[in-house]
Structure 1
Amino acid sequence: MSTRTWFITGVTSGLGREVATQLLERGDRVAGTGRNSDALDELATAHGDAFWPAAVDVTDTDTVRKTVDRAAAALGRFDVVINNAGYGMFGAAEEFTDEQIAHHLATNLTGSITVARAALPHLRTGGGGRIVQISTYGGQAAGPGGSLYSAGKFGIEGFMEALAAEVAPFGIGVTIVEPGGTATGFRRNAVLSSPLTDYDNTPAAMVRGLSTGTRPSPGDPVKVAAAIIAAAETEPAPLRVVLGSDSFQYVHQALTERLADIAGQRASAGAVDIAD
């Protein structure tokens, strides 16, 4: 396989770091962004010119656009763009501040949209390519304590699903990846709300202490990263890829229940149409 060029956000930790490392070790080129300059320096030291680093916060839309343009100019083209930057935020909806909600959505939703929009002119000019969006089963299956997290993930999945149809004429594929729990630092780095006592002993309280919980995550980061790379190189582009037995279970259950909710409504839905 010929050398490929990737643009990946959030390469300084977790799945982003593992994906970037696997690609660089097989001889591909990676433009990688993140907020941790030390971690970026480590990758640059280990992989030399094959790694193009940029310290970027994806909430800074102007810097994101300029960074994508600079990376394209430096590397010549992108074959794959992976939107990986993001973080978890858990708790009851009213336990968060307005500022926390705004920052979370600016990172997990608007940040990914900005990266995709900035990359599209380069992918079109290059004759095609792939955008990969790292989501989660929480982008299909919403649960108590995950309202704000799912708000961002449901939103970005909707955006990417529509985008896939928009850019298909240009030979650009879009793939949404929905991993389950994976043994990275995701839980440890999640933002938890300040608890309100009214939510004690309610379903939303289940997420309290998530960052210090001892329940193991079933996903192997090395295998998940390899599966993400494989999905990015699968033709034609799969719209969604579910990774992890827990993710399959939650997504399948959510979609089954969603269909069941509307299955008996055909007649009542049609009853509001304008009469012939």
Structure 2
Amino acid sequence: MKPNNSTSKVWFITGASSGLGLEFTKTALNLGDKVVGVARNIEPLMELEKRYKTTFKSFKLDITERASVFETVEKAITHFGKLDLVVNNAGNMILGMIEEFTEDDIKQQIDTNFYGAVWVSQAVLPHLRKQKSGHIIQISSIGGILAGPMTGIYSASKFALEGFSEALAQEVSHFGVHVSIVEPGGYWTNLYTNMQFTTIHEEYSPVREFLETQGYESKDSHPKEAATALLKLINDEKPPLRLILGSHVFDAAIEHELSKIKTWKDWETVSRSAEKAIPQPEE
């Protein structure tokens, strides 16, 4: 059965040359949809351009460069005429103790995982607002829900992504535009193989040794599972603001939120006692 191209959607996917981004790209193309895939290195996408000559276009893009992002979005719209689905997938991971991070390490993490998504969202919104439709999908992480040792700056970038996206969703819903935050667990992608580490401070050796004794076992899946879940999300008439991907991280997220609620309740008396409304003081 051939895809119905009359109802095909146009995707804009960042980080499309590898990992989840590449899987999202292939899945959309196999459905008969049109895709603009952007990445710093588009060489892995050349085969797709040959195979899907009329439905796929790639552009080389560093999403941390705001002006380039706006230019590329305009090229994408010129090429296919519109955008329906925007997947902010590009990201990286640098692990280390907070004290070990250099200024450049922090900027690299925040620029890619947070600012890149902001620039893309800003660039596509005038077009989505005008057509009164569209869906922006922010690929966050379980690290956007909870943080642990060595994930501090990575989680900071994802917490920032989630906070801005939550506000954005409320702002653009008035124009018929949806925003969803997808929080994946582990998938077998090059996020791990390309993962970077800070220069170790020996003072933290005991902490690392302790972490090694915890016996954490990663629960990783094939990226196709994430792509299947993404299709269910975008095809829902009322897509959720947040969607967790994976049973292991789902349980971890629930446990984390229940712990937060317990702490709030334990300290409820102090919290409530800190509020005594008064008229505005005179200067």
TM-score, normalising length: structure 2: 0.91
* Partner in structure 2 of residue 57 of structure 1: 62
* Partner in structure 2 of residue 159 of structure 1: 164
Q: Distance in 2 between matches of 1:261 and 1:219?
A: 33
Aligned residue type for 1:249: D
Note the residue ranges of structure 2 that are not aligned, 5 or more in a row: 279-283
Q: CA deviation at 1:203?
A: 5.1
Show CA shifts across 1:96-149 (max 9, x none): 211111111000001101101111111111111100000111100111110010
Q: Distance in 2 between matches of 1:206 and 1:126?
A: 50
Show CA shifts across 1:52-95 (max 9, x none): 11000111111001101111122111111000000111110121
> Which runs of structure 2 are paired with 1:29-178 in the superposition (5 Å)?
29-178=34-183
Q: CA deviation at 1:205?
A: 7.4
* Residues 219 and 248 in structure 2, CA contact (< 8 A), matched pair in contact too: no
Residue number among 222, 225, 241 corresponding to 1:223 in the alignment: 225
Give the match's secondary structure for 1:132. strand
Q: Distance in 1 between matches of 2:271 and 2:45?
A: 53
Q: Distance in 2 between matches of 1:114 and 1:255?
A: 30
Give the match's secondary structure for 1:99. helix
Q: Distance in 2 between matches of 1:154 and 1:204?
A: 27
Q: CA deviation at 1:176?
A: 0.5
* Partner in structure 2 of residue 263 of structure 1: 265
1:240 and 2:242 equivalent?
yes
Pair 122,90 (structure 1): closer, same or farther in 2 beyond 3 Å: same
Q: CA deviation at 1:273?
A: 2.2
Q: Distance in 2 between matches of 1:172 and 1:45?
A: 32
Query: RCO greater where, 1 or 2, for CA within 8 Å and sep 6 or more?
Result: 1
Q: What RMSD in Å do the two structures reach over aligned CA positions?
A: 1.8
Q: CA deviation at 1:265?
A: 3.0
How many pairs align? 270
Q: Distance in 2 between matches of 1:24 and 1:217?
A: 28
Show CA shifts across 1:172-217 (max 9, x none): 111111110111121111111111111112059748xxxxxx9664
* Residues 145 and 203 in structure 1, CA contact (< 8 A), matched pair in contact too: no
TM-score, normalising length: structure 1: 0.93
Q: Distance in 2 between matches of 1:97 and 1:136?
A: 23
Give the match's secondary structure for 1:224. helix
* Residues 19 and 229 in structure 1, CA contact (< 8 A), matched pair in contact too: no
1:3 and 2:12 equivalent?
no
Q: Distance in 2 between matches of 1:148 and 1:25?
A: 36
Give the match's secondary structure for 1:32. strand
Q: CA deviation at 1:234?
A: 1.5
Which protein shows a greater Rg? 2
Q: CA deviation at 1:36?
A: 1.1
* Partner in structure 2 of residue 179 of structure 1: 184
Give the match's secondary structure for 1:36. coil
* Residues 181 and 246 in structure 1, CA contact (< 8 A), matched pair in contact too: no
Aligned residue type for 1:137: I
Q: CA deviation at 1:44?
A: 0.9
Q: Distance in 2 between matches of 1:110 and 1:188?
A: 23
Aligned residue type for 1:269: S
